[in-house]
Amino acid sequence: MMELSAEHFNQLSRQIYLRLGLQFEEKKTYFLQKRVEKRMAALGYDDPQEYVFHLCYADPEAKEMQALANLITTNETYMFREYEQLEAFANCCLPEVLSAKQSRGEQRLRIWSAGCSSGEEAYTLAIILQEVFPQSQYWDCEIVATDIDQNMLAQAATGRYWWRSVRDVPAEYLEKYFIQEGETYTLRPKTASLVRVEHLNLHDRMAMRAMRNFDFIFCRNVLIYFDDQSRKTAVDQFYNSLNRGGYVFLGHSESVGRISSAFKLKRVDTHLVYAKE
Ligand SMILES: C[S@@+](CC[C@H](N)C(=O)[O-])C[C@H]1O[C@@H](n2cnc3c(N)ncnc32)[C@H](O)[C@@H]1O
């Protein structure tokens, strides 16, 4: 069995941090070692030094970093995760933004699920949008679902899920928005067509700059894997990506108050949201 020395671990984790913004502490050595082992087998390497060299100095198109990223990300997700926060979105923030748009005569709404994993969050938002705003079908509405992990994006693009992913979906929505075949639930085409799946590295400044004109950004349970510096870089980009009057929603345990003063922190019910005024 291959063993990753402290030096190799440091080189690899540094490279991962620089390219993906993800922080791996020393206690994750075994976790990283198992993934690196797989990649070494795929590339035919016996010595970790060969792999370190490949990843750090011979990967100009970031193909190997992408292959490793597909193995090291944490992808846990399910529909209607953090239900109460979604209620705050559905009952307060979404109606507020829609009514401001209506009064300006606008008919375009854009939502970004940043770090969407296999897409459950994005389709949840599509369901909520259709529930709260049935006229959305006459508007130009789009939910952009992005992630670094290509395997998760392929799953997201299918719009098809096992019961485990839909376990928290209210029964009436299951009936209304899904076609069930055994233990498989497929989003109905009208809902699925609201979601566009795209590859994006949140730590890639150029790619982030292209993300513009969003009314809502959901980046939940993603920034916990970043350190303060890479979190700040991503959040600063979110500010630029957001329209005035828009909101950022983070996960329960995540806060950017300490690292960004650009947003106005607002309390909606029991939840904190970040507003761009
Ligand atoms: C735990 S999942 C969160 C899924 C969903 N937002 C939720 O709350 O249920 C975290 C996702 O962030 C993605 N991620 C991690 N680092 C990323 C990066 N640098 N760029 C884009 N996505 C990243 C991972 O691939 C993973 O799918």
195-252 pLDDT per residue, tens: 999 999 999 999 999 999 999 999 999 999 999 999 999 999 999 999 999 999 998 8
Q: Lowest-pLDDT range, 3-7, 125-129, 237-241, 268-272?
A: 268-272
**In this predicted model, what pLDDT tens digit does every residue of 47-77 receive, in sequence order?**
999 999 999 999 999 999 999 999 999 999 9
> Is the pTM for the entire model greater than 0.85?
yes
Distance 147 CA to ligand 1 centre (A): 6
Task: Give me the pLDDT at residue 259, please.
Answer: 67
Tell which one of 17, 18, 73, 225 to mutate to probe ligand 1, the residue whose CB is within 8 A of the most ligand atoms: 73
The mean per-residue pLDDT over the stretch 169-188 comes to 97
- What pLDDT digit, counting tens, does each position of 104-129 carry? 999 999 999 999 999 999 999 999 99
Distance 163 CA to ligand 1 centre (A): 21
Question: HSE of 84 in the Cβ direction (CA atoms, 13 Å)?
Answer: 7
Report how far ligand 1's centroid is from the alpha carbon of 146 (Å): 9
CA of 16 to the centre of ligand 1 (A): 15
Amino acid at 50: E
pLDDT grade, residue 158 (50/70/90)? very high
Q: Which residue CA neighbors atom 2 of ligand 1 most closely?
A: 75
Distance 124 CA to ligand 1 centre (A): 16
Average pLDDT over the chain, rounded to whole? 95
Position 114 scores a pLDDT of: 98
Q: How much distance in Å is there from the Cα of 270 to the middle of ligand 1?
A: 24
Q: Give the model's confidence band at 24: pLDDT under 50 very low, under 70 low, under 90 confident, else very high.
A: very high
pLDDT band at 261 (very low <50, low <70, confident <90, very high): confident
What pLDDT, on the 0 to 100 scale, is given for residue 101? 97
Q: What is the pLDDT of residue 271?
A: 85
Lining residues, ligand 1, CB within 6 Å:
20-22, 73-77, 81, 115-117, 121, 147-149, 152, 200-203, 220-222, 225, 251
Confidence band (pLDDT; 50, 70, 90) for 269?
Answer: confident
Q: Which atom of ligand 1 is nearest the CA belonging to 118?
A: 27
Mean pLDDT of 1-11: 91
Taking CA atoms only, the protein residue closest to ligand 1 atom 24 is 73
